[in-house]
Structure 1
Amino acid sequence: MSERALAALGIDALVVLVFAGIGRASHHESNPVLDSLQTAWPFLVGVAVGWLFVRAIFGHLPLLAKTGWPVWLCAVAVGMVLRRLTGEGTAFAFIVVATVFLGIFLLGWRLAAGVWQRKAHA
């Protein structure tokens, strides 16, 4: 995997970790690091599924917003299914917040990178 792809995967993982960390901090958890990882892992699995899906369907990695949307949808869908299967919460408000936050940031960094790249080559 190229350095660019590894960086993109790292940004996706960071987005999920920030999402989980903010959520756990808002609930004043006793162990924010472990609790954040407990919240994050299903969504990290979803990100991985999304990357594999994009690679299988589109034949390349999800480095752009136009191919990043499956990463977002898989992160949310797989994350919620895994949370449900492991007895964790999937309240409607949590689903909405996760969908919006992950959508803005998983697609947003890709949009910003695309704009920056176009300006750099102009």
Structure 2
Amino acid sequence: MPAAKPTLVRTAVIAALVDAVLILVFAAIGRDAHQRADVLTGVFSTAWPFLAGAAIAWLSARIWRAPFAIWPSGVVVWIGTVAGGMLLRAVTGQTVVLAFIIVALISLAILLLGYRAVIALVSRVRRRSGKP
């Protein structure tokens, strides 16, 4: 039984890191699409509200209990990332327009729910084939 705890912690850390990297990818793609300069600092400037929103979602919903589950974990992280990100952007004077909210909802759904869906599919296939 003691070996299960480190595995759960490692799984949660990996999931949190993947979420963070994908949020950074979202910010980088957005900045590139709008041909914005100062790549490194600019990406973090764009991403920090969304990273904070994701962190709040992780903590408030205790995502670490089932970090790769699409429901509810993935959906909570996705909505928390977008809602928290937009709220923080608004209170810090950054742009929040309907078109950006829609793009963020769609893009982050594809990223944050997409990899969880792939993991679920691979797990299902492995279970059916008898592989661990």
TM-score, normalised with respect to structure 2: 0.85
| TM-aligned CA deviation for residue 98 of structure 1 | 0.4
Gaps of 5+ in 2: 1-7
**1:1-122 superposed matches below 5 A:** 2-55=9-62, 60-67=65-72, 68-122=74-128
Largest Rg, 1 or 2? 2
Number of residue pairs matched? 120
- Gaps of at least 5 residues in structure 1 are none
Amino acid at match of 1:92: L
| Segments of 4+ moved more than 6 angstroms | none
Kept in 2: contact 1:63–1:110 (CA 8 A): yes
CA distance in 1, matches of 2:125, 2:56: 31
Percent of paired sites with the same residue: 39
TM-score (norm 1): 0.91
The one-letter code of the counterpart of 2:65 is: H
Letter of the aligned partner of 2:69 in structure 1? L
